[in-house]
């Protein structure tokens, strides 16, 4: 089923069909688009948006880019409305190949809108895909980049089959430089290893290997996901942990003896040697069950990394973890997931955050339940930062100082 056909099915369910003049003025189109943009997840504006969508869906195909332009800054919900309307308009008359191609070529446009333009173009003319995807390995639209990198990986396989080792190595290194999908990067690294060109994939992905792990804390019956233990409360007060807690084997306590935490809760320095940066909590804490630990890092960013004197870098904190977890960056929670043993992968959970010149900190809460099945024994996590496009942001952790 093509994208146009599948979206037409959605149109039938979403829009109330009305017959309107397809040559409506710019002002009325802008008013209807404003009604779509204003719709909210709680249902506010839904009736107005439904009527506006019905009118917009009858516009002539030549106006399709007007709707695509409305994607810029829109919420995911609004974009779903706009996708349906765009696909409907594209069927109203001659297919707007030229305007869609022009829109796709403008990399400053909204990435989701540009990918929709690509889907419509290739559904209308499947043979156009190689031409449209040419050079998209650097595209800000991640789906377009993924497709382009897939073709580059295919080319590397052909070069390997043809015995052209030098060309294959160069092609695979291009994937490492431009790829954003961890799976594609893993594939390139595996092929390079087969060509006697080993790759430190954890470094390529900027996975953080060195952590202070503090614990353990009680998670009996998996009831303490929301319990705020001492490392968490202290971190939320000051955006960092005391340096004297982080000497190997040091007891984690407040100055007041009455506030000392139970015996056995200490900090351990844990360094991952896993090729994908997985930090295994089981060995240092003897496969503890019904337990919680906290992972902590500090790192410093040079102000020269901040463009135009900005005091913030937009980033994404990306966590892979098979058990329940929370992540804070510079004192702000960026993701929380109360899930146990449902699988894990690189970049499983993604939270937007801000990094700053100078000191930055991360606290990760990692829970474990009491299950004894063999498949429920993993207690580990992997973490990294990327920019909003998914490009790895390397950091170098530092030892906390007084």
pLDDT tens sequence across 223-258: 999 999 999 999 999 999 998 888 766 777 655 444
pLDDT of residue 317: 97
d(CA 79, CA 37): 8
Dihedral of the alpha carbons of 24, 25, 26, 32, in degrees to the nearest 10: -50
Domains annotated for the chain, with CATH where assigned, are: 3-133 (no CATH), 142-199 (1.20.58), 210-398 (2.60.120)
Whether the predicted pLDDT of 18 surpasses 90: no
Neighbouring CB atoms inside 10 A of 357's CB total: 17
> How confident is the prediction for the chain on average, in pLDDT?
88
Confidence label for 7 from pLDDT (cuts 50, 70 and 90): very low
Do β-strands 358-368 and 291-301 pair in parallel, antiparallel, or remain unpaired? Answer: antiparallel
Query: Residue 308: which pLDDT band, with cuts at 50, 70 and 90?
Result: confident
Torsion of CA 399, 392, 312, 317, to 10 degrees: -80
Write the pLDDT tens digit of every residue in 351-379. Answer: 999 999 999 999 999 999 999 898 889 99
Spatial distance between the Cα atoms of 225 and 325, rounded to a whole number of angstroms: 8
Lowest mean pLDDT segment, chosen from 3-12, 46-55, 152-161, 276-285: 3-12
Cα–Cα nearest to 63, from 10, 114, 38, 100 = 100
Q: In the predicted model, what is the mean pLDDT of residues 145-160?
A: 96
C-alpha–C-alpha distance, residues 355 and 361, integer Å: 9
For residues 344 and 126, which has the higher predicted lDDT (pLDDT)? 126
| 216 prior amide bond cis, ω within 30 | yes
Q: In this predicted structure, what is the pLDDT of residue 175?
A: 95
Two structure tokens written together for 178: 């431009």
CA 290/CA 213 separation, integer angstroms:
16
The per-residue pLDDT for 401 is 63
For helices 3-14 and 76-89, give the axis angle rounded to 10 degrees: 110
- pLDDT reading at 159 higher than 80: yes
The CA distance from 292 to 310, in Å, is 37
pLDDT at site 8 = 43
**Per-residue pLDDT, 247:** 74
- For residues 36 and 92, give the distance between their C-alpha atoms in angstroms, rounded to a whole number: 20
Percent of the chain with pLDDT over 90: 72
Q: Which of 392, 385, 387, 337 is nearest to 362 (CA)?
A: 385
pLDDT attached to residue 69: 94
Question: What are the distances in angstroms from CA 91 to CA 12, 21, 33?
Answer: 14, 16, 19
Looking at residue 309, its pLDDT comes to 75
Whether the pLDDT of residue 185 is over 60: the answer is: yes
pLDDT given for residue 28 in this prediction: 87
Question: Which pLDDT belongs to residue 4?
Answer: 47
Q: How far apart are CA 186 and CA 246, in angstroms?
A: 34
The answer to whether residue 5 scores a pLDDT higher than 60 is no
């Amino acid at each position: 089923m093509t994208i146009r056909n599948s979206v037409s099915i959605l149109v039938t369910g979403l829009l109330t069909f009305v017959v309107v003049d397809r040559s409506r003025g710019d002002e009325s189109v802008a008013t209807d688009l404003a009604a779509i943009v204003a719709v909210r997840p709680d249902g506010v504006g839904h009736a107005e948006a439904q009527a506006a969508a019905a009118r917009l869906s009858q516009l002539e195909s030549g106006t399709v880019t007007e709707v695509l332009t409305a994607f810029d800054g829109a919420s995911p919900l609004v974009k779903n409305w706009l996708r349906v309307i765009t696909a409907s308009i594209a069927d109203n008359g001659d297919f707007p190949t030229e305007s869609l191609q022009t829109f796709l070529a403008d990399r400053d446009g909204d990435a989701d809108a540009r990918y929709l333009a690509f889907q419509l173009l290739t559904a209308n003319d499947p043979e156009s895909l190689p031409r449209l995807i040419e050079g998209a390995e650097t595209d800000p639209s991640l789906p377009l980049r993924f497709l382009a990198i897939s073709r580059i990986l295919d080319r590397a396989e052909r070069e390997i089959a043809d015995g052209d080792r030098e060309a294959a190595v160069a092609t695979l290194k291009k994937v490492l430089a431009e790829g954003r999908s961890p799976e594609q990067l893993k594939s390139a690294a595996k092929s390079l290893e087969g060509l006697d060109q080993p790759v430190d994939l954890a470094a390529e992905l900027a996975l953080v290997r060195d952590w202070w792990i503090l614990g353990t804390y009680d998670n009996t019956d998996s009831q303490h996901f929301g319990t705020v233990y001492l490392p968490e409360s202290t971190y939320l007060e000051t955006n960092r942990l005391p340096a004297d807690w982080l000497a190997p084997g040091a007891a984690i306590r407040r100055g007041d003896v009455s506030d000392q935490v139970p015996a056995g809760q200490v900090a351990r320095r844990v360094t991952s040697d896993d090729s994908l940066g997985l930090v295994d909590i089981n060995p240092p804490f003897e496969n503890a069950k019904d337990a919680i630990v906290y992972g902590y890092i500090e790192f410093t960013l040079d102000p020269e990394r901040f463009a135009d004197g900005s005091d913030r870098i937009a980033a994404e904190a990306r966590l892979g973890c098979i058990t329940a977890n929370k992540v804070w960056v510079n004192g702000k929670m960026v993701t929380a997931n109360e899930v146990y043993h449902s699988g894990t992968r690189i970049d499983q959970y993604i939270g937007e955050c801000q990094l700053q010149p100078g000191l930055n900190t991360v606290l990760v809460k990692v829970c474990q339940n009491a299950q004894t099945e063999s498949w429920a024994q993993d207690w580990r996590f992997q973490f990294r930062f990327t920019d909003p496009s998914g490009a790895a942001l390397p950091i170098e952790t530092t030892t906390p100082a007084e």
